[in-house]
Structure 1
Amino acid sequence: MTKRQIEIFTANCPFCDETVRLVQELACPSCEVLVYNLSSGQQQSIYLAKAQQYGVQAVPAIAINGVLMLTGKPTQQQLEAVGVGQN
C-alpha cells in the first residue's frame, strides 16, 4: 500500500499549530505527515523552495501527494474532503 504524503507548511502561528494538530489527529495509518516550518530551522531554505514549487502564498498550507490542496486554517470537513484521514 502506498502511503499518502501530507505536507503542512507552517510559520510558528497559532493557526498553523492548530492545523498540524488537526491533521495529525485525522491522519490514517497510511498517511505520512510532514511539517515544514518556513520561518526557522536548519532546512528553512529547502522548505521555502518546496513551498515556492507548490505555489504556497500563505500559511498554513497543505499539500497532498505533491499537490497544494488547502491554504489557510482548514476545518475538519475541508480536510476530510481532500482525503485526509482516508486510506
Structure 2
Amino acid sequence: MKPIMGKNIEIFTDSNLYGDDIVNLVKEYACPKCSISVYDANCTDPNVDMHSKVSEYGITAMPAIVLDGKIVPTEKLARGKFANMVHHFFHK
C-alpha cells in the first residue's frame, strides 16, 4: 500500500465574501499531511510575494486554489462540486 503523501495547497483570496468560506472548506477537507498557504490580495505584508505567484500560475480571478502547482478550474468551484473535488484531489 502506498503511503499518503501530503499535497501542497495554495489559496488565493481577496478577502471577498466567500474567501473565508473557501479557506475553511479547504482546511476541513485537506488531509492532515497537506501544507496549506493562504495568500490575501489585501495583505500588506512585504514578506509575502503573492503577485509573483499569481503571475506564475496565471491566476486571473479570485478566489483561486492551486494544488501541487496546478490551478483548480474555477468552474469546479462554482458548480457546487467543491467538497467532492477537494476530497478527490487531496486524498489521491
What TM-score, normalized by structure 1, do the two folds share? 0.81
C-alpha deviation, 1:78, in angstroms: 2.8
Q: Is the 8 A contact 2:11 2:37 kept in 1?
A: yes
Alignment of 1:71 with 2:74, yes or no, is yes
Q: How large is the Cα RMSD of the aligned pairs? A: 2.2
1:54 aligned partner = 57
Alignment of 1:38 with 2:41, yes or no, is yes
Question: Which ranges of structure 2 fall in alignment gaps of 5 or more residues?
Answer: none
Instruction: Note the alpha carbon deviations across 1:3-60, whole angstroms, 9 max, x for none.
Output: 3100000111121111001000001112111100112221476101101110101111
- CA–CA separation in structure 2 for the residues paired with 1:4 and 1:60: 19
- CA–CA separation in structure 1 for the residues paired with 2:75 and 2:42: 16
Question: Between the two proteins, what is the percent identity of the paired residues?
Answer: 31
State the SS of the aligned residue for 1:14: coil
Question: Which ranges of structure 1 fall in alignment gaps of 5 or more residues?
Answer: none
- CA–CA separation in structure 2 for the residues paired with 1:72 and 1:43: 32
What TM-score, normalized by structure 2, do the two folds share? 0.77
